[in-house]
Amino acid sequence: MNGELKQEDLKQVRKLCEEEGIVPVRNPANEDLRLTELKRLGMLEKDLEQDPRYASLTEVATYLTECPYCAINILGSTVQRCKIIFGLSKEEEKDFQRDSPRDLSICQFSLTNPHQPLVIENLLVDERTKQKYSRPESSPIRFYAGAPLISSRGFALGTLCVVDETPKSLKHNQIEGLRLLADQIVSLIESEHEAKQPKESETKTDGEPAESSGRYYSSTTILFADIVGFTSKVEHLDPGELLATLNTFFKGFDKIVSKHKVRKVKTIGDAYMCVGGISEQRNSHAKKVCKAALDMLRFVEAVNLQQEVLGKERWELRIGIHSGALIAGTTGNTFDIWGDAVNIAARLESSSEPGKIHISEKTRDYLEGGGQLTPRGEITLKGKGVWNTFFLESLNS
């Protein structure tokens, strides 16, 4: 039994949506693949209540966020299925409906931006929910925060959400804690699934092509750096000198990222790319990447001192940094990363200034006040809209 709604039920749900002022989210572009992932893991049928670890994680979420209720909700094509809810009394649990129409749920809104937490500080004010929750017969909840449950293949399964009957806000570390708990839930689910699968043969013929493989990381920090005015340098510098200088920079950058336990991704022409949060799954990835960026600028300046002594022109580096979710893996034998967070980091780099480290508000949050920043204000990133960004000047430690 998959619990999805029949056509006649969907008509009734749409009528209720109109009455309650809810505009259901459109299916994601990858909805078919997302539903296939739900089926692969057996999420709609899976019984999480038999394992006390899941109940413990929802309980921890309530302590962390100081909210009285927490649930693990799975989003099917038409239904939201609650797998566990913490905070209800025994009597309340008896009357609690485990299945509800997806179009009438709050969790459905997480599908519009599935790699970011969904926080609605006041359901009576938010355009998506205010009409429904202002009705006299509606639920008394007024606050909602949900961390997405994303599979290792990068598909949204549902949410780990907390609710409260009082409007409120969460601190950055509380939202991050909720995300970490959501990651732990998915890790448990996938570990159980893998344990039940037959072992694949490890034999592989020599002529068989290498496969692509990847894994989802809910929190990382990406750095792009490139040489300012590189095109003009190509036009008038000796090719040998050009390559030798680039090689000096990239070897130096390799040592810097290794020192800070950041992973190099690749170089593309005069651009250098690295990522934190892959080798070590800790919230310190933004600080480590920012430390690496500051060291890169110092290294370039040290090279420039030598250039000036020799009567040669200076080189300027421009850096962009953003924190977010991505897929990291290999194609053949080459490591690479993919995702919108990667594109945003690239946009921050291209809109940075010579000798500057241009960071997003998300990266700023991960620094937790540990850096000296110069607000740049709102800027438009190509294809990404208006963003509030900063220049990183230094770190406290």
| DSSP secondary structure letters along 253-265 | HHHHHHHTT-EEE
CATH number of 212-395: 3.30.70.1230
Give the pair of three-digit tokens for residue 199: 């072992």
Intervals of CATH 3.30.450.40 along the chain: 7-194
Dihedral, 205, 210, 211, 216 alpha carbons, nearest 10: 130
Intervals of CATH 3.30.70.1230 along the chain: 212-395
* pTM across the whole model: 0.86
pLDDT at position 36 is 96
Q: How far is the C-alpha of 141 from the C-alpha of 105, rounded, in Å? A: 13
pLDDT at position 5 is 84
- Condensed to tens digits (0 to 9), the pLDDT of residues 122-179 reads 999 999 999 999 999 889 999 999 999 999 999 999 999 999 999 999 999 999 999 9
Q: How far is CA 208 from the centre of its chain?
A: 34
Q: How far is the C-alpha of 342 from the C-alpha of 115, rounded, in Å? A: 13
Closest to 129 measured CA to CA, from 112, 109, 149: 109
| DSSP secondary structure letters along 168-199 | ----HHHHHHHHHHHHHHHHHHHHHHHHTSPP
Closest to 277 measured CA to CA, from 225, 339, 334: 339
- Condensed to tens digits (0 to 9), the pLDDT of residues 24-53 reads 999 989 999 999 999 999 999 999 998 999
At residue 72, what are phi and psi to the nearest 5 degrees? -105, 110
pLDDT at position 213 is 74
pLDDT at position 299 is 96
Residue range 7-194 forms a domain whose CATH class is alpha beta
Q: How far is the C-alpha of 247 from the C-alpha of 269, rounded, in Å? A: 11
Percent pLDDT > 90 in the chain is: 73
Asked if 121 contacts 145 with a C-beta cutoff of 8 angstroms, the reply is no
Q: Which residues of the chain, if any, have pLDDT below 50?
A: 1, 202-204
